[in-house]
């Protein structure tokens, strides 16, 4: 069952995909639309690239990052073992704006996990994200495009105004009006809990797991 439908307005051109891919391979940060808000993306296995995101946002390294995946097959590379509850949430809300925190494989760098042994993962419903991950070929770090503590940006124009030439490539697109960031749910503890409220509400989560903690 899919809770969220893709937004067909988020399809990139071949030229944009190649520009974005080139920037990522060169260790740069790119900005891209999703089904929620604009994201800042970089190679998760390049610490210098992630340092650029931290500097752009004014964000602490200890917070860790979300990894976007193309499909659930990518989980085997980054998650130790998805629990039955994780599988249930995936069935109901993926692809879509739900990020799940799960135990990480040792191969996932500390600068992605924040040194906590767990990793935040999302399978986006955005065709733009799917196309980008398709040419990139592996998981991608993506965090909301904004200065730390400020509201997330939802247009390429606003991203240009905020960050300018400090971003290697700003991919054009349109995020849905009134979009919220993805909801983040921690599944690395005994009882699942919401770490960040967002597009998937607690009421929606409780239809799947009645004892869900706010």
pLDDT in tens, the chain (214 residues): 344 444 444 578 899 999 999 999 999 999 999 999 999 999 999 999 999 999 999 988 778 999 999 999 999 999 998 999 999 999 999 999 999 999 999 999 999 999 999 999 999 999 999 999 999 999 999 999 999 989 999 999 999 999 999 999 999 888 887 778 999 999 977 789 999 999 999 999 999 999 887 8
CA quadruple 153, 156, 161, 167: dihedral positive or negative? positive
In whole angstroms, how far apart are CA 184 and each of 93, 98, 116, 192? Answer: 12, 6, 16, 10
Within-domain flag for 190: yes
Spatial CA neighbour of 4 closest among 90, 133, 102, 121: 90
Distance CA 130, CA 124 (A): 7
Within-domain flag for 70: yes
Within-domain flag for 130: yes
Within-domain flag for 2: no
Residue 164: give its domain's CATH number.
3.90.870.10
pLDDT value of position 12: 87
Q: Is the pTM of this model over 0.85?
A: yes
Q: How many domains does the chain have?
A: 1
Within-domain flag for 213: no
Which domain does 33 fall in, by range? 8-208
Within-domain flag for 163: yes
């Amino acid at each position: 069952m899919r809770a969220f439908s893709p937004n067909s307005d988020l399809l990139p051109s071949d030229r944009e995909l190649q520009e974005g891919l080139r920037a990522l391979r060169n260790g740069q940060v790119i900005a891209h639309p999703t089904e929620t808000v604009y994201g800042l993306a970089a190679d998760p296995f390049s610490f210098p690239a992630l340092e650029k995101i931290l500097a752009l946002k004014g964000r602490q390294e200890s917070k860790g990052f979300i990894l976007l995946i193309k499909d659930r097959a990518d989980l085997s590379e980054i998650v130790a073992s998805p629990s039955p509850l994780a599988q249930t949430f995936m069935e109901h809300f993926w692809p879509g704006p739900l990020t799940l925190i799960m135990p990480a494989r040792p191969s996932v760098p500390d600068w992605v996990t924040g040194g906590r042994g767990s990793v935040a993962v999302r399978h986006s419903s955005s065709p733009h994200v799917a196309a980008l991950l398709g040419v990139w070929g592996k998981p991608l770090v993506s965090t909301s495009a904004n200065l730390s503590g400020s509201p997330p940006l939802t247009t390429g124009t606003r991203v240009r105004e905020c960050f300018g030439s400090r971003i290697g490539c700003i991919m054009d697109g349109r995020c849905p009006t009134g979009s919220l960031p993805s909801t983040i749910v921690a599944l690395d503890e005994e009882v699942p809990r919401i770490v960040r409220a967002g597009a998937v509400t607690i009421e929606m989560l409780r239809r799947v797991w009645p004892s869900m903690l706010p």
